[in-house]
Amino acid sequence: MTEIKVLTTRAMNHVLTQLADAFQRTSEHKITLVLAPPNEIRRRIVNGEIVDVAMSGSSIIDDLVQLGKITRDSKLILARVGRGVAVRAGAPKPDISSVEAFRHTLLAAKSIVYSDPAIGGGGKCIEQLLDRLGIAEEIKAKSIVNPRAATTPNAEIVARGEAELASN
């Protein structure tokens, strides 16, 4: 049995788990999924870790191509992962139907959790978005920055009642 090692972000975990299960049932291969934040994926590959497949955002993959760690012709856009807002079960769904409604929802929230920008991925995007919306300072005071987003999803923090909204 041949092992195929996939180094990926949490964003693709659910779909990859289902695909890997189906693939393993019909082949002689074993899929090993290794979850890591984007910057950790970059660090591990730069430091020489051997993987069969690396899945992350285009900026990380482009950087690895530039460094010669991934061949340019092997790069493939397989999926795009959007951003979402999570609330606790039973809570009213937030209005994110327009930019202004989303801005108001963020300002009205008591607390917001998002991934630590230092690990790459969603947290960096959220901080840039808050800057563009002109509300970064107002949100900063009620933000919970999750340094373990690769293993503890932001939505889980909301489900436990530790934050009102999560960015995913």
Task: Say whether both 56 and 90 belong to one domain.
Answer: no
Question: Is 79 part of any domain?
Answer: no
- Of 18, 52, 74, which closes a domain? 74
- Of 52, 74, 96, which closes a domain? 74
Task: Say whether both 136 and 68 belong to one domain.
Answer: no
Secondary structure in 3-state letters for 19-53: HHHHHHHCCCEEEEEEECCHHHHHHHHHCCCCCCE
- Of 74, 98, 120, which closes a domain? 74
Question: Is 89 part of any domain?
Answer: yes
Could you tell me where the DSSP H helices lie in the chain? Answer: 13-25, 38-46, 58-66, 99-108, 122-133, 136-140, 154-159
Task: Say whether both 20 and 53 belong to one domain.
Answer: yes
pTM: 0.66
pLDDT for 157? 92
pLDDT for 144? 92
Q: Over the stretch 97-118, which tens digit does the pLDDT of each residue have?
A: 999 999 999 999 999 999 888 8
Task: Say whether both 154 and 103 belong to one domain.
Answer: yes
115: containing domain = 85-167
In Å, what is the CA distance from 124 to each residue of 92, 131, 141, 168? 27, 11, 17, 12
Question: Is 80 part of any domain?
Answer: no
Helix (H) or strand (E) holding 4: strand 2-8
Question: Is 67 part of any domain?
Answer: yes
> Who contacts 53 (Cβ-Cβ below 8 Å, separation ≥6)?
4, 5, 6, 7, 8
User: What is the three-class DSSP state of 1?
Assistant: coil
pLDDT for 56? 87
Per-residue model confidence as pLDDT tens for the chain (168 residues) = 899 999 998 778 888 889 999 999 999 899 999 988 888 899 999 999 999 999 988 888 999 999 999 999 998 888 777 778 889 999 999 999 999 999 999 999 999 999 888 876 678 888 989 999 999 999 999 999 988 876 788 889 999 999 999 987
C-beta of residue 29 within 8 angstroms of C-beta of residue 2: yes
Task: Say whether both 47 and 104 belong to one domain.
Answer: no
C-beta of residue 75 within 8 angstroms of C-beta of residue 61: yes
Question: Is 133 part of any domain?
Answer: yes
Q: What is the CATH number of the domain that holds 27?
A: 3.40.190.10
Task: Say whether both 62 and 90 belong to one domain.
Answer: no
